[in-house]
Amino acid sequence: MRAVEPEVRLVARPDVDYAEVSEYLAEVGGESWLERIDRGDLDDAQNLAEFAGRICYRSWEPGLNPNVTRIRTDQDQYLKNILASAHGSVLEHVSFSFVLHNVSRVATHELVRHRAGTAISQESLRFVRLDDLPFWFPDWAREDPELMARASGLLTQIEEFQGWMADHFGLDEEGVKFAEKKAKTSFMRRFAPEGLATGLLWTANIRTLRHVIENRTAPGAEEEIRLIFGKVGELMVKEAPSLFGDYSVQDGAWVPGWRKV
């Protein structure tokens, strides 16, 4: 048994092709928008969200749409208005990918309920044979010596059984076909605890992220997933402050200033 801590790593973010954007804006008369925005490493997410919003109303500058006589030129104010007006569809164009590492299957079973606006690739125990049992314990459990002794003993016994099965089935012997390894490994996973730590790549758009961060850090959410999405929230405030800066954190719960975006 190996004690682990859930980790969240942001591994992919939007990448805007400004040359293509520029050609489009030259056709519709919105070149001035490109002159107003920043184009640093962390600007593409917010620029893409603003781009999507302005397409809807042709609001690159006053007069392009006869109904638009003035526009917001400050991006922070523009995006806050998007949130306040619940124009969430434009946020679905902006996606981020996270590696969730050493998170339990308890947490991933909760997470997969959020399907809209996500993509998920999780480590498969049908193919990946267990040789140890990484496991996360909350602080209150670690402070209980008898609980930890019994839990560690049980996990060690399960871990030893996994090793015994691999030897019993001869999975490491020369000539064993992969199809047999897969079949036996699939059987062996049935004896692994649901709290076993695993890993997955999880991609979600901004609209989904806002919803999941709020729901999975709420006081009634499962404690491990609250920890995970508190970390996600912290990353997103740094990545896109105009799109996540409306949250206040209250006893670990991320409460947005604007809901149902």
Task: Specify if 38 maps to a domain.
Answer: yes
Overall domain count for the chain: 2
Task: Specify if 150 maps to a domain.
Answer: yes
| 38-66 burial code (b ≥16 CB/10 A, e <16) | eeeeebbbbbbbbbbbbeeebbbbeebee
84-123 tens-digit pLDDT: 999 999 999 999 999 999 999 999 999 999 999 999 999 9
Tell me the pLDDT band of 261, cut-offs 50, 70 and 90. Answer: confident
Tell me the pLDDT band of 41, cut-offs 50, 70 and 90. Answer: confident
Task: Specify if 222 maps to a domain.
Answer: no
Same domain, 131 and 81: no
- Average pLDDT score, the chain: 96
Query: Looking at 159, 191, 223, which one is the last position of a domain?
Result: 191
Backbone φ, ψ for residue 106 (5° rounding)? -60, -50
206-260 tens-digit pLDDT: 999 999 999 999 999 999 999 999 999 999 999 999 999 999 999 999 999 998 8
d(CA 59, CA 258): 23
Range of the domain at 19: 14-92
Query: Looking at 76, 92, 108, which one is the last position of a domain?
Result: 92
Task: Specify if 5 maps to a domain.
Answer: no
Tell me the pLDDT band of 1, cut-offs 50, 70 and 90. Answer: confident
Task: Specify if 156 maps to a domain.
Answer: yes
d(CA 81, CA 86): 8
Query: Looking at 156, 191, 226, which one is the last position of a domain?
Result: 191
Task: Specify if 246 maps to a domain.
Answer: no
pLDDT of residue 12: 98
145-173 tens-digit pLDDT: 999 999 999 999 999 999 999 999 999 99
Same domain, 74 and 141: no
Helix (H) or strand (E) holding 228: helix 223-239
pTM above 0.85, yes or no: yes
Same domain, 78 and 133: no
Task: Specify if 31 maps to a domain.
Answer: yes
Task: Specify if 68 maps to a domain.
Answer: yes
| Cα dihedral 154, 160, 6, 215 sign | negative
Burial of 193 (C-beta count, 10 Å sphere; 0-12/13-18/19+): middle
